[in-house]
Each structure stands twice: as C-alpha cells, then as structure tokens.
A and B are shown apart, each in its own frame.
Chain A
Amino acid sequence: MTKILVIAEHNEEALNPSTAKCVACAASIDGAEIDIAVLAASAASVAAEAAQISSVGRVVTVERAENDAGLAAILAPQIAAMASDYSHLFGPSTAFGKDLMPRVAALLGVNQISDIMSIEGSHRFKRPIYAGNAIVTVEAPAESIVVATVRTASYQAAESGNAAPIESATVDVEVPTHTRFVELQTGKSDRPDLQAAAKVVSGGRALGSEENFELIFKLADKLGAAIGSSRAAVDAGYVPPETQVGQTGQIIAPDLYIAIGISGAIQHITGIKDAGTIVAINKDEEAPIFEVSDIGLVGDLFSIVPELTEALG
C-alpha cells in the first residue's frame, strides 16, 4: 500500500506552488493515496488551498505557535512522529524542502532521495547528478519508509478543483528551542516569483553593472516576467542571490526563458533545461547558450534589449 504524505511549503498565508508539484509527482505512483501535512502556527487558509489540489485524499493540519517560521529543526521531529502511517514522505526540492527532508530522514534512520525527476515504480526513481550531466535510477529498500524531495521543475502543478477533508492533528513531541527565527528579508517587488513564473528574463555578467540591469527589469515588466540571473551577475553584485538560476541556485521550468548576456555555463544550463522555450541574446556567436536555445540572436544586448522592449509595446 502506497501512502504518501506531502509536506506543504507555505508562508502562513499562502501555499507555495511547489506543493502541488509534489502532489503531481506523488500521483504518478500507481494507486498512491496522498495526504498533505500543513504544519503552521495557524493553518486554516493554507489548508483550504491544499484541499483543492486534485488527487489529495486528506489535509492534516498541525498547529502550534513554534511552527510559524517553518524551521527544519522544529518541524522535523513532528513530521517524523507522523511518519508511521505512511510509506513515503515527499517535500519539494526548494530551499525549504532541502533544509527539512534530510533532517526528517535522519531522525527516521533512513537515507533520503534528492530531486526526484521521474517515478519508475513505488521505490524506483530517476534523479540528476553532476549538475544534470548524468541521470541515475535509484532504488530505495522496500522495507523502509521513502523520504524524498521532488525536483519541482520536472512537474506541472496538480490541478485544483478538489475538496479534500481537512483534519486537525495533535503531534505530541517536544520541539527544540536551540534554533530561533530572527527575520526574513525579501526583495519585495510586484514581479512574479521566480519559481512560479511562466516567463523569466535573466541577465548575466555582460550587463556590466547594477544600473544596466534596469534594461532587464524593463523588458521583464513588459512581459510580466520574473527576474533571473547567472552566478557571475550575482557574484558581481548586480542582483541579489535569490535571482540566481542554476545548479547551486534555483532550478526552474518557465514557458519562456530569455537569457541575456549569459554565456551558458553547464551549471547555469542545468537550471533551465526544462524550460519550454529558451531565447538567447549574446554578442558571442560561439557562446554555449546557443547550443540549447530555441531562438538565438547574436548582437549587442545594449541595443537589442531596448529595441525589443519598445517593440513589444
């Protein structure tokens, strides 16, 4: 019997789209029964959203004040205590899930599978290694619980339209006080979230300065796109780290990805492999980004980008 508990990612107000992607992955296991766990200080609005995701049988809420910041050290013992009812525990391969799920796995005495990109059976999965240069099939032991993160870029969010029952649970475990949330600084903007955006405009080292990134912002705003960047652009201080796309940044799969002044190192490419359409604008016709782009344009970004922004009227 395959019973999967998906750990919801949220900010106490809204459910992160990564959760519906984990559900989509879980639902591709034959005959899986899927529950969602919402651990929160106050779970109602997040749980209501989770209950709408199709294929979900039940939403289980665990409310306690300490859960408000979603800290791994506090959530993990509660999830481990809920695990005995399940054959699988899934979380997203976002910063939240990557922080949390290995801690849960270790408490349960099992290894963890990172970045499931395809389900080959209830205990067989495919995942990328070496920045996506190789794909491995891994097999988890049938007799122990499977704890895994789901590579969210490999899945479309499960549809909504469900009305799963919401049940509140009490998990009687002590949580530590050795880890305390201080603050979260977000580069608050009206632009869409990089993970969830259908379109992403991304800039690289060739932009040359923080001021010149304004060109990227203007084009993105015209398209209603999120902002991405290469590691080189972040290291140079042009844009904040949360915009970085690639092996050690965010792995994304928008419908449209426009790479501007990005040469296309393998570590960057691995973050965009699942994009629908990749557009590359670069002055170097030999740039590796053109090997993976669907539409390429060789030329000076400082004239092309304003012209493109203007022409999109």
Chain B
Amino acid sequence: MEKILVGLKRVVDYNVRVQVKSDGSGVDTDGVKMSINPFDEIALEEALRIRESGAASEVIVVSIGSSDAQQQLRTGLAMGADRAILVESGTSVDSLTVARIFKALVDRENAELVILGKQAIDDDNSQTGQMLAAIWGRPQATFASEVVLDGDTARVTREVDSGLETIDIDLPAVITVDLRLNEPRYVKLPDIMKAKKKPLEQIALSDLSVEAAPEIKTTAYEPPAGRQRGIMVEDVAGLIAALKDKGLV
C-alpha cells in the first residue's frame, strides 16, 4: 500500500498525577509535562514496522490542536515518520469531529490504513477509531495486540475481556492498538536533527470543511471520592481476623 496515517495526540504525560482546579473549572495542566499519548506511540511504531517490511511506502503522522502539538509531531518524525500534518484548532475537538477530520485526510491522501491508539489517556474515551471506521464504511480492528498484513487483508489479534480474538479485515481499514502490540523505539539525537528538515504541513480546521458534531458539554469537574486508608495488621492471623470481621471469609 501507499500510505498509512497515524494519529498523535498531545496529552498530559503518563506520569503526571492530574489534579482538578480548586474552582472546579477544569484540570490543572499549567506547566505540566506534555507527551505523545502512549498508545499513539505504539500505533506509530507499528506503522513504521509495516513500512520497513516493504508493505507501505509512506507514514504520515497527524495531530489536531494548537501549534504546541508540533512538538509531538516532530517527535513522531524523529521516530521515523515521513511527514506530518497539523490540523490547527484553537478549541478542543470532540471524537466525532476528530473522526471526520481523519476521514477528510484519508480522502485527501488516499490512505489505505489508519492506525490509532485504542484510547487517549486524558479523556479515556476510546472512540475515535471506531467512529472513523463507521463513517468511512470500513473495518475496524480495535485493541490490537498483533497485526499481520497479507496483501489486501490483515489478520488482527484483539485483546478482549475473555481472551484474544482474531479477525480478518479487508483493507482499507482502521486499527486501534493496545499496549502489547510492540515496544516503541527510542529516538536518537541524529534523528531529531533529521526530523527538523522533514515536512510539517499546517492546515486550519476551517479549511477542511468538516461538519461539526452535536456537542456534549462538560459542565463541572470534581476530584474523585477518595478511599480512606484502612487498618494495618501484623500477621496472617490478624488478616484473617479482619476478614472474618467483615464477613469476607
């Protein structure tokens, strides 16, 4: 195939413990470390391996958001993507609109495969890949832990609650990736230098003529109800006594 599109979302880093602002207006992201959504790094790694195997010729990384997301796209280029597209939007964009943006880019680029993370670790929605597949009218292989391409089809193993499900899908298709698919490569310094010369195209969201979806409004933020720290026991006998006390054994 010619082209693979990969989504890279800029999110608060995995290691940051996010706090709700005291006035309940949002979460505090001032000055916190931002990174590529970890699942999206796995998506990119998979696309790069497919290209390196000779089954694709170009990997294009896409991000949607403010110009700050250029940072994540440059990291994607340093990992080995061929070029990048930033769809600029001043406000946060909901899942269906993101799916419609990807559909517009799929059409523009004539991409045959879109690989996305199975969820973003900020909103934890897990929706975009499935929505893109729906409006594209193409297969979705979500939560992938193994992808084997075979000409115009792919055999994908998916992590489901009861174990591992294997499906065959015809290309073009959307794949969303789970943790165990691969281990993303580290970026080396010379690659960062090289990435600066790779093309990064900026498109205004308004230029893509994407229809806005009915909006789900977030009206309040609050911290989660905490669990109280309980008792400490000294030994197994104490543990069993405490469990018996609660009627659990």
Contacts and interface: CB of A to CB of B under 8 A. Distances in A.
Interface of A: 11, 71-73, 76, 94-96, 98-107, 109-115, 124, 128-141, 143-144, 176, 178-187, 193-195, 199, 223, 231, 234-235, 240-242, 247-248, 250, 255-256, 266, 273, 277-279, 281, 290-299, 304, 307-308, 311-312
A113 B216 contact: yes
A112 B219 CA distance: 16
B233 A241 contact: no
Contact of B222 (A94, A135, A293): A135
Given A99-B130, A112-B95, A135-B222, A297 B229 contact: no
B19 interface: yes
A135 B224 contact: yes
Given A73-B133, A136-B221, A184-B164, A295 B233 contact: yes
B160 A242 contact: yes
Given A141-B216, A144-B214, A311-B237, A242 B96 contact: no
A248 B179 contact: yes
Contacts of B231: 294-296
Contacts of B239: 279, 281, 295, 297, 308
B230 A250 contact: no
Nearest to B11: A130
A72 B94 CA distance: 21
Contact of B166 (A110, A140, A182, A293): A182
B134 A102 contact: yes
Nearest to B136: A106
B246 A307 contact: no
A275 to B, nearest CB: 9
Interface residues of B, number: 84
23 contacts: A100-B130, A102-B129, A105-B96, A105-B131, A106-B134, A106-B135, A110-B214, A114-B125, A114-B126, A135-B224, A137-B219, A179-B140, A182-B167, A184-B160, A185-B163, A185-B166, A186-B162, A241-B145, A247-B121, A273-B227, A290-B232, A297-B235, A297-B239
A297 B162 contact: no
Given A105-B96, A110-B214, A182 B168 contact: yes
Contacts of B99: 106
Contacts of B237: 311
Contacts of B232: 290, 295-298
A72 B95 contact: no
B248 to A, nearest CB: 5
A137 B26 CA distance: 11
B18 to A, nearest CB: 4
Interface string B215-246: 11111111110010111111111111011001
A312 B249 contact: yes
B139 to A, nearest CB: 4
A5 B125 CA distance: 21
Contacts of B118: 248
Contact of A178 (B139, B160, B234): B139
Contacts of B163: 184-187, 240, 242
B180 interface: yes
Given A178-B170, A256-B243, 12 more contacts: A103-B133, A106-B132, A111-B95, A129-B123, A133-B224, A176-B137, A176-B139, A278-B230, A293-B230, A295-B230, A297-B236, A308-B236
B243 A295 contact: yes
Residue of A71, A76, A273, A297 with most partner-chain B CB within 10 A: A297
A136 B126 CA distance: 16
A273 B224 CA distance: 10
Interface in B147-163: 155, 158-163
B68 interface: no
A111 B246 contact: no
Contact of B126 (A102, A131, A180, A182): A102
Contacts of A240: 163-164
B142 interface: yes
